[in-house]
Amino acid sequence: MNFSARQGARKWPVAGKMVTAVTALALACLLVPQAAARKKAPAVADAPPQAAKVPLPRPRPPEAPQAAEEARGEPEIPPAVEGKPAEQATPPPPPAPQVSACRQALTEEIAIAPSVPAVHGPGGCGGDDLVLLSAIVLPDGKRVAVTPAATLRCPMASAIADWVRSDIAPLTQKLGSEIAALDNFDSFECRGRNRIKGAPLSEHGKANALDVRAFKLADGRSIGLTDRSQPRALREEVLHTVCARFVTVLGPDSDWYHEDHIHLDLMERRNSYRICEWDVLDPLPAVAPLMPAERPADAPPREVAKEEGAKDEEK
């Protein structure tokens, strides 16, 4: 400050003090907010560093090994395609039905009897373990046709095959020929007993029965089991074989429904009760009864005989 200024200050001391105070107050108003702002704001060195960008992995190449989830056996869900939903996993096939012991034993060396699907009809008709018995194989390899083929449960088909192989084949050899076919009159049919409406379910409805009408021999002969012209001893021998093997045997004189065939089944009854009703009838006479002799020549006229008869009635 020059001399003149100092002189001015001395000359007006009060005014200079007031100017100096006002100036100081203005500076304080300007400097205090800035100091407070600097005190509140954190230092630049204290700010956390900015996080660096992490690069994403590249898409998995198709030749890469399977993921851990696939290695553990978890199914992989295919991604959905635009406009097409993702394919659902195919359910595993149902387990195959177990083969019965009868089915395993009934081989093609014993019978031609392929398995057929189970049948479960109304009222308990049908059953499981069914076969279509089309032929019986004899011990020498020859086949006995079942005409027509019979739908039966495996145990019933096995019993028929054993009966023909062990009993009927040796029996027909005594007749000078061999059995060639078995006449099947009826096998599986969903019906009541004797086809009566409302009757209990027949064993035929359970595929557990077979009606046999005759044997056919290789030489062309037919042996009807209820044919009274066949030898009685032959029919009685057949009777003994079937009653020893089957639970139910029905033939002539058992009822009015089995006069022309033999019914065989393996019906389960209490206490293993068995029925064998087959009356082997006597053969019919070879010659018809003689007709009355011719009327004698000395017999009275018929008109007289009528009059005498009328008189006798009046007495």
Domain residue limits at 117:
101-277
Q: What is the pLDDT of residue 92?
A: 80
24 falls within a domain: no
- Where residue 287 falls (left for φ over 0; alpha for ψ -120 to 50; beta otherwise) is beta
Q: What is the pLDDT of residue 78?
A: 56
Query: Is a pLDDT exceeding 50 seen at residue 36?
Result: yes
Which residue would you say has higher pLDDT here, 11 or 219? 219
With vertex at residue 44, the alpha carbon angle to CA 38 and CA 50, rounded to the nearest 5 degrees, is 145
Q: How far is CA 264 from the centre of its chain?
A: 26
Q: Which of 283, 284, 282, 264 is nearest to 274 (CA)?
A: 264
Report whether 158 contacts 212 (CB < 8 A): no
48 falls within a domain: no
Mind listing the pLDDT tens digit for each residue in 103-133?
Answer: 999 999 999 999 999 999 888 899 999 999 9
Number of Cα atoms under 13 Å in the Cβ half of residue 43 = 2
158 falls within a domain: yes
54 falls within a domain: no
113 falls within a domain: yes
In this prediction, residue 14 has a pLDDT band, given cuts at 50, 70 and 90, of very low
Q: What is the pLDDT of residue 4?
A: 46
194 falls within a domain: yes
Mind listing the pLDDT tens digit for each residue in 58-76?
Answer: 787 777 766 555 555 555 5
Summary mean pLDDT of the chain: 80
At residue 156, the 3 state secondary structure works out as helix
93 falls within a domain: no
Q: How many domains does the chain have?
A: 1
27 falls within a domain: no
pTM of the model: 0.62
56 exposure class (CB count in 10 Å sphere: 0-12, 13-18, 19+): exposed
